[in-house]
Amino acid sequence: MAMAAVAANPSATAEDPEPHREAVPGLESQRRQIENGESGRERPLRAGESWFLVEQHWYRQWEVYVQGGEQDSSTFPGCINNAKLFEDQINWCLKKGLVEGEDYVLLPSAAWHFLVGWYGLEQGQPPIERKVVELRGTRKVEVYPVELLLVPHRDMGTPHSAQFSQIDSIDLVLRTAREKFLVRPEKETRLWVKNSQGSFERLCNTRVTVLDAALKSGQLVVMETRSKDGTWPSAQPQAGNKASKEDEDFQGQPGICGLTNLGNTCFMNSALQCLSNVPQLTEYFLKNRYLEELNFCNPLGMKGEIAEAYADLVKQAWSGHHRSIVPQVFKTKVGHFASQFLGYQQHDSQELLSFLLDGLHEDLNRVKKKEYVELCDAAGRPDHEVAQEAWQNHKRRNDSVIVDTFHGLFKSTLVCPDCGNVSVTFDPFCYLSVPLPVSHKRVMEVFFVSMDPRRKPEQHRLVVPKKGKISDLCVALAKHTGVSPERMMVADVFSHRFYKIYQLEESLSSILDRDDIFIYEVSGRSAICENSREDVVLPIYLRERTPARDYNNSYYGLMLFGHPLLVSVPRDRLSWDSLYHILLYRLSRYVTRPSSDDEDDGDEKDPPVTASPILADMAAKDSIPKPGHVAGGSSQNPGPEQAGPSSGVAGGSRAPVNNSPGPSHWPQRARRKHLFTLQTVNSNGTSDRSNFNEDTHAQPYIAIDWEPEMKKRYYNEVEAEGYVKHDCVGYVLKKAPVRLRECIELFTTMETLEKENPWFCPSCKQHQLATKKLDLWKLPETLIIHLKRFSYTRFSREKLDTLVEFPIRDLDFSEFVKPQNESAPELYKYDLIAVSNHYGGLRDGHYTTFACNKDSGQWHYFDDNSVSPVTENQIESKAAYVLFYQRQDVARRAKPQPDLSDPPAPPACGQPPNSEFMDVN
């Protein structure tokens, strides 16, 4: 309590020359009442009670008087006089260094009042009342309270002194300062203290004591008052004072305020705008109800800092004095407590929203000490009984405005497939993450390369099962080309080389949408019988020798170009000469054959070429590679981590391997032919195999090496890069819109647990793939529905841009809630109040917000610092990501709906977006 020096009993002061005196008992009775008994000075101290100082000389005189036994004795002490204890008789400040037993004695309140009633108090003197405090387990009378210097933030030159007990709360210090500086009740204030280093620290928790806050006598305490625009004067930089003054003069609609993008913080801005337009939560902060519920000691919370930072944002946005505000302090606080949001990378607005709701809940949790609560299964009890118990247990540990506003209750039913045991539990939720009905089809773009050299590659758009195999891709292409799937090989081409050649049984999920897929026609699979002929499939690369450089025939002097090929070669024609002519035929569309005049007559003619040892070995090999397999190479070639386009049209690959003769059997020379030379290379196509210690059983790839001059004369690059589009390329897989009701139905549909997440059945004592069903049991005041647009698998990530049709008004949940309260149908009907939108893809998206102003009922579009009014028919779009619905019985808007015939209000900032803009990032 403040140590203001006031008389405990005004009638007992000496200001009245004839004060009313109680009937004076006998001297012995006086001694017993003052010295002993419940009211005497010998009784033990009790924390919080008042004791009084009496000057030592007067008290000794009184003791002599009562011990003498004569009431008319000359030893009568007269009025109580404490003058020797004061520095002066103006401010009545206690002298420093007074010692109990030498300068004063201490009397409990009752004994003091007895003495004052019997003898009176010297005129004008205040009683010296002091509190009993308990410090570290020891009780004592606090003779010298803490003297603080109070100053307002606007005028720190004239401090006001005030005394406080060490057990007084900081809230008393704040109230005392408000009284001294005449602050109006509706104004919000906070305290700062100047520490020994000369800097100022916030006194955040006003419920702690002066002792806990470590305040000392003589310390300066500054009271700061929030400005009418919602900002704190100390938070305004000096350079921004002018802008702040301009904002203070601006008067707009409260809540129509943009948020500056600090660098990829649109996700944060979108979540904040949605939450700011939840009426009951915003009113809770605007009316300062949060100040009484800040939880500074919750180990799961953020010491009230997130709640205070959010409150500052809400007060600024709803002051009506800002067109836009900069959420830098809030961003810093979020990054401090959640490291995933540090920096300026793009994040998910729903993830930020989840963190913020949890942080606000823990910062405002009314439960200061969470008790242990044991979770109980239904065990055959009625559902309503188990549900009520679960909700009560939840509230015993979690009780805040967030729980009041956003928390509901699930009913979860698990059934064991073996023993039939049924487990029913009830779990709280803060939002619903509902799946979107997903198509089981997938559209893939591929390039078909025919064996007919006259035909250009064809681009095809194929519809295949999402969980299909490579063989399904070949079957789909066969319908367009007439080529049997048995005669197809699928490859991923990257940077002019095969990244991977696929086996038919591999999953399509390993192919990403950005991969460039080529499907090659190869010779058919003949039955293995007498007189049958098998072909070998060779991977072929194109290389150009870099001019004017001699690197000893190393790969540094050769550059890959064009598209690689998969060429079927009859086993009985496996010779360099035959291979040269086969390749010349396959390249004939864009490689010109030289005429006899173009031959180099100066060179000696090459001798006839016979089959080389390696080709002869391959021709005799019993294990014959099938056309569906590459006759060599690894199934996963070294290469970049991700495939991308090569020059012009591109693709990717990988392949299984059959055993075949190794590099040591291949000729170690590159024979010069008329147009190009053939060279054995490794799977990367960048070096002579003889320089590498590859698997001796891995058949090499073949490189066609061109001299620059020969390539320029005979190789037509434009024709080589040419391709045609099949009619199917114009096909678009239509995505029919889905209703929000379908998403909720899918959410509440029974499902079987995955192998990675089994359930331990308490009956059969084993982990089981049980069936699980979720039902809605208790709905919150404000329901947040998260549409799960982002799909992540082991091999792919995608965003579902399906249009979800959702109602603006009267979203009815009655059919989804069990049990139903038929007498209160309004408990299940909701109206939309905000939408968080996401435009673009996974990597380069942008977040915005639609929100309905709680005061005007007008919808607005928030795009960072830009705000503009919109109509309700603009709200539904493919970008809708998180929906905020408010229950109709909670906040029926008191104001009438705006007349649709009235002209729209002028935009708060910028122009209203058109539908084309909002559908495209």
Active site residues: 266, 846
Task: Find, among 315, 180, 832, the residue nearest to 307 by Cα.
Answer: 315
- Using CA atoms, how far apart are residues 456 and 719, in angstroms rounded to an integer? 9
Cβ–Cβ < 8 Å for 715, 588? no
- Using CA atoms, how far apart are residues 881 and 875, in angstroms rounded to an integer? 12
* Backbone torsions φ then ψ of 561, nearest 5 degrees: -150, 170
DSSP-assigned letters across all residues of 642-684: S----SSS--B----B-----GGGS-SS-EE-SSEEEEEE-TT
User: Cα Rg for the chain, rounded, in angstroms?
Assistant: 44
Provide the β-strand partners of residue 772. Answer: 414, 751
- Using CA atoms, how far apart are residues 176 and 147, in angstroms rounded to an integer? 13
Length of the chain: 921
Cβ–Cβ < 8 Å for 222, 233? no
Cβ–Cβ < 8 Å for 165, 142? yes
DSSP summary character for residue 483: -
The interaxial angle of helices 349-363 and 328-337, nearest 10 deg, is: 80
Task: Find, among 607, 627, 615, the residue nearest to 680 by Cα.
Answer: 615
DSSP summary character for residue 438: P
Spell out the SS3 assignment of 700-719: CEEEEEECHHHHHHHECHHH
Cβ–Cβ < 8 Å for 646, 516? yes
CB atoms within 10 A of CB 916: 7
Structure tokens at 756: 């990675």
Report the number of secondary-structure helices (H) and strands (E) in the chain.
19, 40
- Using CA atoms, how far apart are residues 911 and 903, in angstroms rounded to an integer? 15
The amino acid occupying position 718 is V
Q: CA of 309: how far to CAs of 269, 275, 306, in Å? A: 14, 14, 5
- Using CA atoms, how far apart are residues 863 and 324, in angstroms rounded to an integer? 11
Residues 6+ apart with CB under 8 A from 797: 790, 791, 842
Beta strand 724-725 with 458-465: parallel, antiparallel or unpaired?
Answer: parallel
Task: Find, among 86, 106, 80, the residue nearest to 19 by Cα.
Answer: 80
Spell out the SS3 assignment of 364-402: CCCCCCCCCCCCCCCCCCCHHHHHHHHHHHHHHHCCCHH
DSSP summary character for residue 100: B
Structure tokens at 614: 């390696």
Residue where the block lists tokens 């001299």 = 707
- Using CA atoms, how far apart are residues 433 and 869, in angstroms rounded to an integer? 29
Cβ–Cβ < 8 Å for 418, 761? yes
Instruction: Say how far residue 623 (Cα) sits from the centre of its chain.
Output: 56
Burial class (CB in 10 A: 0-12, 13-18, 19+), 166: middle
- Using CA atoms, how far apart are residues 334 and 403, in angstroms rounded to an integer? 21
CB atoms within 10 A of CB 183: 17
Residue where the block lists tokens 């603009």 = 874
Cβ–Cβ < 8 Å for 767, 760? yes
